Chains A and B, each alone.
Chain A
Amino acid sequence: MIDLQSLQERIRAAAGDRRPLCIRAGGSKDFYGGPRAGELLDVSGLSGISDYEPTELVITARAGTRLTDIERVLAERDQMLAFEPPRFDGRATLGGAVAAGLSGPRRAYCGALRDFVLGVEMVDGRGELLRFGGKVIKNVAGFDVSRLMAGSLGTLGLIAQVTLKTVPRPRAECTLRFEADQPRALEAMTLWATRPLPLSATAWHDDLLHVRLSGAEAAVRAARESLGGEIVSGSEEYWQSVREQRLQFLMAADELWRICLPARCPKLPIEGRTLIEWGGSLRWLPGRQDGNSLRALASRRGGHAMLYRASVKPPEGSFAPLPAAMLALHQRLKAVFDPHRIFNRGRLHPDL
């Protein structure tokens, strides 16, 4: 256990000397975003569930708590994290998950990580402890700083504690498999999403489309009968590997691109194997790509591409670039929370 006060003191001292700090807990996302810079600020000791009220569907835990520990406790009460964040061999922590803002297969149908954040306690770049949001589902007092933390990659402050909304586990679940080429799979996913079906995940690769249904027994049964396809037993492991990007052909590549697109975007003119999730809105592309042309292509289709994992990090950053006015606003917001620019310099954007 480490106490928050000693972390606050270190932050104050670093701010005084303008010394950059690198916030880290499980290290499961060292690969993600820009290069790590600065002195290590290890928050893995800041761990433990501080409050869990199953009847409220709300859990509060310190940032260094492992996601697997949280999920185990939730499972005992038949609850779960709806956004299915990757756990990366169990090393991922709550604070890191919120900072990275990554959501898993269920995201397209149940919401993203940020949709489940209710409150955050954080230490800003002056070493001050601040509390935003709270432990209730509905709360519109003040600006929504807690959701702003989701995906900020630690550039705005040290996330010390997070309160999340949990959900009941579905009473029934079933995975179906269809043979389909990419255009047909994209069309099927698009059409299904316009119908009131209990979809909870979709994944396509290698001419196979997997569809997971979750919900009330009767709803899952009815949907299964209406969709057809082949029932896949023991699909748990398959969805885990999708959730953690552990499908063999993704792991084997030295670069992995992640492309987000509007719903119903057709097949991209790119050769090679790909994993498609979120009804077509998320596409994983293993292997080297010409970054500029891929980013331009995604942008023409109304989306954006990022270099998710790479052996060598590009100097322009991993994420899609921000327009000038947007970047200026980001810099002003960064200065609000971290005036001396000590936290995770360059991790989200080279200029932040």
Chain B
Amino acid sequence: MYHRVIERLRRALPAGAVLSSTEELKPYECDALTLFRQTPLAVALPADEAQVAAVLRLCHEASVPVIARGAGTGLSGGATPRPDAVLLSLARLNRIIGIDPLGRTARVQPGVRNLAISEAAAPHGLYYAPDPSSQIACTIGGNVAENSGGVHCLKYGLTVHNLLALRVITIDGEVLEVGSAAPDAPGYDLLALLTGSEGLLGVVTEVTVRLIPRPECARVVLAAFDELAKAGRAVADVIAAGITPAGLEMMDRPAIAAVEPFVQAGYPLDAEAILLCESDGTAQEVEEEILRIETVMRRAGATECRISRDEAERLRFWAGRKAAFPAMGAISPDYYCMDGSIPRRRLAAVLQAIRAMEGKYGLRCTNVFHAGDGNLHPLILFDSNVADEVARAEAFGGEILELCVREGGSITGEHGVGVEKINQMCVQFGSGELETFHAVKRAFDDRGLLNPGKAVPTLHRCAEFGRLHVHGGRLPHPELPRF
């Protein structure tokens, strides 16, 4: 049967657009969550929307699952293949369809890289605000599927806040136009529902994003602290003072030590934590805000505050933050990046609790993250060649996520659930909510063919994980067989 699907794909797509040999499939066996690897049934590389629809229709008819893939930079295994599923790469749909400088919009195909949009808009003094650290590689289609964030989302919002319209193809090949260039499109807000749906509801074939004017100027304050808790409090104090920085990031001591040799950003090596706090706007506005930020930092106990004097220095301050992930690769054979979010006022306590877990799991953990919006990225360092370190890293990560939920936060701030956090979904949601998610999925894809098994756990899985929340002592839908 699978053979026939590959044959039919070959007939539907141009030459070279279907990969099926072991060698060709190798590069697609995982996304950036490399802990999980699988070989897909085949990879389809359509070049336009009609070909995407053809692939979907064909797989729907044959009841073969389909997994969409952008650049494969996802960190939760959203694009992890399955041996029984076609991997649908959107990489060849990489055209910028049009930039409307006066309307401040860009219409692009899903395989366009995030940064390419801002580059194309730059001559008009405009840019696309959400800037994941992976922006040179990740695609806008992937950003929509994950509702990705970035350093500047604190002030300018996440992907969902910067989208106007989508073209989406459902599993049966039907085209949906969702949202519109005009505000308040009629009907339900499907644009919000589809954003962050991790490729479970439809395949995005076109995206219209909002562009915003590039601010005149930006400066950054680098504040050093001799205690993690003080840095955590400073974050809450900045927000409480009514300041909305363009970005507010934290790095702890091990992270500083790892990146400094890499980039010579000039970070103070004796600090327990540093904060990078950016202000943007007109020159006068930035000057006014930077002063206020510095005052708050000093009052919160900063041992040192440096303000970028020019653009070169601003970029140098950020260089360390941006190089954090590659730098970890140099100090540890493997690392595992977590993504919980918490209320900002709990930062200090949660960071300390994570410190305390290091001993329990016998692994080091370092933190480089979007502090301003309470989005933690603990990086658990391990060596996959050492017996049971993978298992310990996963258990460590799981405990951090459960702590985030207990603190009133979420198991994922921006990386998505994918295959990685599927068990922790049973901690964050009860059976009623999970049932609703499955029903929403069925409303779009009644046979469960799009990215099956990701993002939403079955109740059966939660029961096995021992975390099925039962409402009022009743099992949900007792009439249903337990699967």
Residues of A with Cβ closer than 8 Å to B?
A: 53-58, 78-79, 101, 107-108, 111-112, 114-115, 124, 128-132, 134-145, 147-148, 150-152, 156, 167-169, 171, 190-191, 193-198, 215-219, 221-223, 260-264, 278, 281-282, 302-304, 306, 319-323, 325-326, 329-330, 332-333, 335-337, 348-349
Task: Show 28 A/B contacts (Cβ-Cβ < 8 Å), sorted by A.
Answer: A54-B240, A55-B239, A101-B184, A107-B183, A134-B409, A134-B410, A135-B343, A138-B413, A139-B409, A142-B429, A142-B437, A142-B456, A143-B197, A167-B244, A168-B242, A194-B102, A194-B124, A217-B288, A218-B284, A219-B282, A260-B180, A262-B105, A262-B181, A282-B183, A303-B182, A304-B182, A322-B187, A348-B187
B216 interfacial by beta-carbon distance below 8 Å? yes
Q: Which residues of B contact A168 (CB under 8 A)?
A: 242-244
Contacts A124-B432, A138-B153, A303-B180 known; list 9 others, CB within 8 Å. A134-B410, A138-B149, A138-B375, A141-B410, A143-B456, A144-B196, A148-B189, A193-B213, A216-B288
Interface-located stretch among B19-27, B82-90, B330-338, B438-446: B438-446
B109 interface residue (CB < 8 Å to A): no
| Interface residues in chain B, defined as those with a beta carbon under 8 Å from any beta carbon in chain A | 100-105, 124-126, 146-147, 149, 153, 157-158, 160-161, 174, 176-177, 180-190, 192-193, 195-197, 201, 213-216, 236-237, 239-240, 242-244, 281-282, 284-285, 287-289, 341-345, 370, 373-375, 408-417, 421, 425, 428-430, 432-433, 436-437, 439-444, 455-456, 471
B411 proximity list for chain A (CB < 8 A) = 141
Complex CA–CA separation, A221 to B282 (angstroms): 11
Residues of A within 8 A of B186 (CB): 304, 306, 319-322
Closest 10 CB pairs of A and B: A218-B284, A147-B192, A168-B242, A138-B413, A303-B182, A262-B181, A55-B240, A139-B410, A332-B443, A219-B285
| B183 near A222: Cβ-Cβ < 8 Å | no
Residues of A within 8 A of B103 (CB): 190, 262-264
A156 to B440, CA, bound (A): 12
Which residues on the B side are within 8 Å of A53 (C-beta)?
343, 345
Contact (A260, B184) CB under 8 Å given A53-B345, A136-B409, A337-B436: yes
| CB proximity of A292 to chain B, nearest CB, Å | 15
B174: chain A residues at CB < 8 Å are 325
| B240 → A minimal CB distance (Å) | 4
CA of A48 to CA of B34 in the docked complex: distance in angstroms? 48
Residue of A at shortest CB range from B427? A141
The reply to whether B284 and A222 contact each other, CB–CB distance below 8 Å, is yes
Contact check, A145 vs B440: say whether CB atoms are below 8 A apart: yes
- A329 and B443 contact, Cβ closer than 8 Å, known pairs A135-B408, A148-B192: yes
Report Cα–Cα, A216/B428, bound state, in Å: 39
CB distance from A166 to the nearest CB of B (A): 11
Contact pick for B181, options A101, A302, A320, A329, CB 8 Å: A302
Asked whether A147 lies within 8 Å of B160 as measured between CB atoms, the reply is yes
Residue of A nearest to B126 (CB): A194
* Residue picked from B103, B415, B442, B455, most chain A C-beta under 10 Å: B103
- The verdict on A194 contacting B192 (CB below 8 Å), with A136-B374, A136-B409, A139-B413 known, is no
A56 close to B239 (CB less than 8 A): yes
Q: Which residue of B lies closest to A132 (CB)?
A: B433
Number of CB contacts from chain A to chain B under 8 A: 257
Query: Which of the residues B104, B149, B215 comes within 8 Å of A193, measured between beta carbons?
Result: B104
- Residues from chain B with Cβ under 8 Å of A326 in the complex: 176-177, 187
Give Cα A157–Cα B408 distance, bound, in whole angstroms: 24
Smallest CB–CB gap between A29 and chain B, Å?
15
| Min CB gap B293→A, angstroms | 12
A338 to B478, CA, bound (A): 19
Q: Complex formed: what's the CA distance from A41 to B466 in Å?
A: 38
Question: How many angstroms from the CA of A128 to the CA of B472 in the assembled complex?
Answer: 10
Chain A residues, Cβ within 8 Å of B242? 78-79, 168-169, 171
Q: How far is the CA of A61 from the CA of B183 in the complex (A)?
A: 27
A349 x B193 contact (CB < 8 A): no
- Does the CB pair B104–A194 fall under 8 Å? yes
Q: Which residue of A lies closest to B125 (CB)?
A: A194
Bound-state CA distance A221–B237 (Å) is 27
CB distance from A170 to the nearest CB of B (A): 9
Q: Is the CB of A141 within 8 A of B285?
A: no
The docked-state distance in angstroms from the alpha carbon of A221 to that of B281 is: 13
Contact A143 B421 (CB under 8 A): no
B136 to chain A, nearest CB (A): 22
A278 and B183 form a contact (CB under 8 A): yes
Contact of B471 among A128, A139, A150, A302 (CB under 8 A): A128
Interface pair A195/B213, CB less than 8 Å apart: yes
A115 partner residues in chain B, CB cutoff 8 A? 157, 160-161
Residues of A within 8 A of B147 (CB): 140, 144
Q: Are B425 and A325 in contact (CB under 8 A)?
A: no
Q: Quick check: B160 and A144 within 8 Å, CB to CB?
A: yes
Contacts of B440 in A (CB 8 A): 143, 145, 333, 336
Contact indicator B429/A55 (Cβ below 8 Å)? no
Residue pair B433, A336 in contact (C-beta under 8 Å): no
Known A193-B104, A322-B187; contact A139-B125, beta-carbon cutoff 8 A: no
Residues on the B chain within 8 Å of A112, using CB: 183-184
Bound-complex Cα distance A201 to B145 (A): 32
Q: Are B182 and A262 in contact, with the CB atoms below 8 A?
A: yes
Whether the pair B185, A304 counts as a contact (CB closer than 8 A) is yes
Verify A138–B102 contact, CB threshold 8 A.
no
Question: Taking A142-B456, A349-B187 as contacts, is the C-beta distance between A218 and B282 under 8 angstroms?
Answer: yes
Who on chain B is nearest to A280 by CB?
B103
Q: Give bound CA distance, A53 to B375, whole Å.
A: 18
In the complex, are the beta carbons of A196 and B287 less than 8 A apart?
no
How far is the CB of B68 from the nearest CB of chain A, in Å?
Answer: 16
Instruction: Report chain A residues within 8 Å CB of B343.
Output: 53, 56, 58, 135-136
Do B188 and A151 touch across chains, with their CB atoms under 8 A apart?
yes
Complex Cα gap A124–B186 (Å):
22
A138-B104 in contact given A216-B288, A325-B174, A336-B440 (Cβ < 8 Å) = no
The chain A residue sitting closest to B376, CB to CB, is: A138
| Most-contacted residue by chain A among B176, B181, B187, B288 (CB, 10 A) | B187
| Cβ-defined contact, A145 with B413, below 8 A | no
A114, B189: Cβ atoms closer than 8 Å:
yes
Which of A79, A130, A142, A336 contacts B425 (CB under 8 A)? A142
- Say yes or no: A216-B289 contact (C-beta < 8 A), given A141-B417, A196-B282: yes
Q: Which of A142, A195, A196, A302 has the most CB of B within 10 A?
A: A142
A58, A139, A323: which contacts B412 (Cβ < 8 A)?
A: A139
Residues of A with C-beta under 8 A to B412: 139-141
Give the residues in chain B near A261, CB-CB below 8 Å. Answer: 182
Q: CB distance A129 to B432 under 8 Å?
A: yes
Q: How far is the CB of A223 from chain B (nearest CB, A)?
A: 8
B244 contacts across to A, CB distance below 8 A: 167-168
Cα of A171 to Cα of B281 in the assembled complex, Å: 15
* B344 contacts A56, C-beta separation under 8 Å: yes
Please, which residues of chain B bring their CB within 8 A of the CB of A141?
410-412, 417, 421, 425, 428-429
Q: How far is the CA of A141 from the CA of B409 in the complex (A)?
A: 10
Residues on B with C-beta less than 8 A from A194 are 101-102, 104, 124-126, 213
Q: Could you tell me the distance in whole angstroms from the C-beta of A337 to the nearest C-beta in chain B?
A: 7
Residues of A within 8 Å of B183, CB to CB, are 107-108, 112, 260, 278, 281-282
B413 touches A140 (CB 8 A): yes
Bound: A138/B154 CA distance, A: 10
